[in-house]
Amino acid sequence: MRTITLIVVHCSAVKPDQQSSAAQIDSWHRERGFHLGIGYHYVIRRNGDIEPGRPEWLIGAHCQNHNKYSIGVCYEGGLNVRGQPADTRTAEQKATMRRLLEHLHQRYPRAVIVGHRDLNPQKACPCFDAAREYADLQPKL
Ligand SMILES: [Zn+2]
């Protein structure tokens, strides 16, 4: 089993009229040369459904230099109608994301929750302050 010390929150960087199921992301990532397919461990659809990506035991491909010890969680969205970065999470997505992160926090109590942009300032992803929103689920020192 991997040692998980980090949970990285992402968006799929699609506009409101675009879909990004785990299956679609899987094919996009394969086109980009990820031969194991989807780089995230979980995808949260706009309706709040969770779709599995890579199994947790498998190293992801979602955050350069941080994949080995992390879990990648991605919500469908992240761009507004003009294609600009925006927190487009629906109420259902917010509820599911909190439930999923609570569950992961219970299983990996030493994992810090961050957004992709916190590790790579070149990125806007996930377009909200994940570390602050989930401050109550951060490791207790
Ligand atoms: Zn990202």
Assess whether 116 carries a catalytic annotation.
Answer: yes
Asked if the structure places residue 1 within a domain, the reply is no
Residue 58: CATH number of its domain: 3.40.80.10
Question: Which residue among 75, 116, 127, 134 is the active-site one?
Answer: 116
Asked if the structure places residue 56 within a domain, the reply is yes
Secondary structure (3-state) at 74:
strand
125-135 confidence digits (pLDDT tens) = 999 999 999 99
Assess whether 40 carries a catalytic annotation.
Answer: yes
> What does pTM read for this prediction?
0.97
Q: Cα–Cα distances in Å, from 70 out to 3, 4, 17, 77?
A: 8, 5, 30, 21
Asked if the structure places residue 85 within a domain, the reply is yes
Distance 140 CA to ligand 1 centre (A): 25
37-96 confidence digits (pLDDT tens) = 999 999 999 999 999 999 999 999 999 999 999 999 999 999 999 999 999 999 999 999
Assess whether 10 carries a catalytic annotation.
Answer: yes
Question: Which residue among 29, 41, 62, 123 is the active-site one?
Answer: 123
Number of domains in the chain: 1
